Amino acid sequence: MHYEGNIIRPPSEAESILLQVTVGCSHNKCTFCGTYRGERFTIKKDSIIFEDIEFAAQYCKRQTRLFICDGDALIIPQRRLVLILERIKSRVPWVERIGLYANTKSIKMKSSEELEELRELGVKIAYMGLETGDDVTLKRINKGADSSRMVEMGRKIRKAGIQLSITVLIGIAGRERSHIHATETGRVLSAIDPEYVGALSLMLIPGTPMHKEYQNGNFELITPDEMLTELGTMISTTHLSSGLFHANHASNYLPIRARLPHDKEKTLALIARALEGKVNLKPEYMRAL
Ligand code: SF4
């Protein structure tokens, strides 16, 4: 496989074939993100991508999932993306699920019919970073969309029959807006009603604008207990018809995996016990991104 630069994938794609079709992220402006800082976004040449599909056809015979890397592969023009998906379908036909990252810009660029065409060609899940439903914080972190656009695009991709996994970031609004961030995120998640929510806990990355804000005293990192309180408020204000709410990423202090609404009360009780000191939290040195 011809991998270039930083390769990232969602935790749930750990066993997937990782096919890199783009380098970097087409947005690359979120103030907390250091993943692709300094990397120029490019779409790789078809010849390289097709060579990698051949590699998968020969050596990845047991993997039934494939993840198209990197940041935001949905931005690829439809005709090229269709060619890549058709090649995967013909050369790696045992792949049952293709996943990719999407953002509001790339979803907006595709018509509903185009999204349905991608689903027909195997794209079954898209991962979208919401981070927060709080408009003030979305602007501050330079996410490139407000909450109403997030809701619109999240619903659009789900309507096309593509499952949606949304990432939110505990602690991203600092101390002052922590409660608003939690309730507004609950509001937006409820409006989109995705199949999956993944909550990560903020870790500051040196060199990012947010880290500089923190160093200058313009951003307050909340404590582990405050993060748990925020997570509890978010879960209690999130109303999903039947979604999986995960907070079991390496960055989280307390692993949570809840089917909502079924597990809501049990999960809130677990958080309450953790806040009373009755459940051990992950030590700081074991956290990672
Ligand atoms: S958080 Fe996602 S969209 Fe934002 S810069 Fe990083 S990779 Fe790009």
Tell which one of 22, 23, 27, 130 to mutate to probe ligand 1, the residue whose CB is within 8 A of the most ligand atoms.
27
Residue with CA closest to ligand 1 atom 5: 28
Distance 11 CA to ligand 1 centre (A): 16
Predicted pLDDT of residue 146: 98
Is the preceding omega at residue 52 within 30 degrees of 0, hence cis? no
Q: Assess whether the C-beta atom of 74 lies below 6 angstroms from ligand 1.
A: no
Distance 100 CA to ligand 1 centre (A): 13
Residue 67 parent element (H or E) = strand 65-69
Cβ neighbours for 144, distance < 8 A, ≥ 6 positions apart: 27, 29, 30, 103, 104, 105
Mean pLDDT for back-to-back runs of 10 residues, the chain (289 residues) = 87 93 92 88 94 97 95 92 97 97 96 98 97 98 97 98 97 97 98 97 94 96 95 97 90 89 96 92 79
Residue 20 parent element (H or E) = strand 17-20
Q: Assess whether the C-beta atom of 28 lies below 6 angstroms from ligand 1.
A: yes
Tell which one of 7, 22, 25 to mutate to probe ligand 1, the residue whose CB is within 8 A of the most ligand atoms.
25
